[in-house]
Structures are given as C-alpha cells and as structure tokens.
C-alpha cells in the first residue's frame, strides 16, 4: 500500500462483522473485530482464521506446546453486520452535525 495516502475503512475495532469468504464463511453469525491493521488492510476477527502455533518452553511459558489463536484476515473478506436486518451490509459515510457517521445501506440506520 502506498505511503502517500492513509486508507480509510468503514470497519473499526469492536464492530460486529460477518465473514463472507474463506473457511470460516458464515453469513448469519456476527463476530467481533478485535484489532484493525490499516497498513496491511487486515483485521483480527474473533473465532475466524484460527491457526495453531507451536511454542517452545520458556521462562513465561514453562510447558510450551500447541497454542490456537486467531490470525488476521483481509478486510475484503468481511462485511459489517446490520443488526436491524440481520445480515451483512455495505456502508456509506455522511456528515451529520459536523461529524462523520457510518450508515447502513440496507436499513438506513446509523451504525454505533
């Protein structure tokens, strides 16, 4: 991604999203966004893209072993959850009272 312009995404930390592609695809199950990485256009979604990491024993982790954790997925593989309609939705941005507000295209409601 270019260093000249900072990417603007309609998904933020704490939002509910649905995974629309990949192994964890489920268009009816909303999941929470744990972290957003705008430089890589990726985000960490709760319960999606689970990887197994093999860890050696260390001072903090004396046992070591296999750890399951979420890995980041590309932002294009998720869609914002519209609670009113119960599906994923696209988002448009508009100004209301000098503030930028995200609005669901399916229901027309503002996203908190």
**pLDDT in tens for each of the 112 residues of the chain?**
567 888 889 999 999 999 999 999 999 999 999 999 999 999 999 999 999 999 999 999 899 999 999 999 999 999 999 999 999 999 999 999 999 999 999 999 999 8
The rounded distance, in Å, linking the Cα atoms of 28 and 3 is 36
The three-state DSSP-derived secondary structure of 7-48 is: CCCCCCCCCEEEECCCCCCEEEEEEEEEEEECCCCEEEECCC
3-state secondary structure of 76: helix
What DSSP designation does 110 have? B
Residue 26 inside a domain? The answer is yes
Count, in order, helices (H) and strands (E) of the chain. 0, 10
Q: Give pLDDT, residue 82.
A: 95
3-state secondary structure of 112: coil
The rounded distance, in Å, linking the Cα atoms of 65 and 20 is 32
Q: How many domains does the chain contain in total?
A: 1
Residue 20 inside a domain? The answer is yes
CATH of the domain at 63: 2.30.30.30
pTM, two decimals, is 0.84
Residue 110 inside a domain? The answer is no
Q: 59: domain range?
A: 16-84
């Amino acid at each position: 991604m270019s260093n000249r312009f900072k990417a603007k995404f309609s998904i933020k930390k704490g939002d509910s999203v649905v995974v629309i592609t990949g192994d964890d695809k489920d268009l009816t199950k909303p999941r929470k966004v744990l972290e957003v990485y705008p430089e890589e256009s990726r985000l960490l979604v709760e319960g999606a893209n689970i990887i197994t990491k093999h860890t050696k024993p260390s001072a903090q982790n004396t046992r070591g072993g296999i750890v399951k954790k979420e890995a980041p997925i590309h932002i294009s593989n998720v869609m914002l959850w519209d609670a009113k309609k119960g599906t994923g939705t696209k988002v448009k941005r508009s100004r209301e009272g000098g503030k930028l507000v995200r609005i669901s295209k399916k229901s027309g409601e503002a996203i908190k």
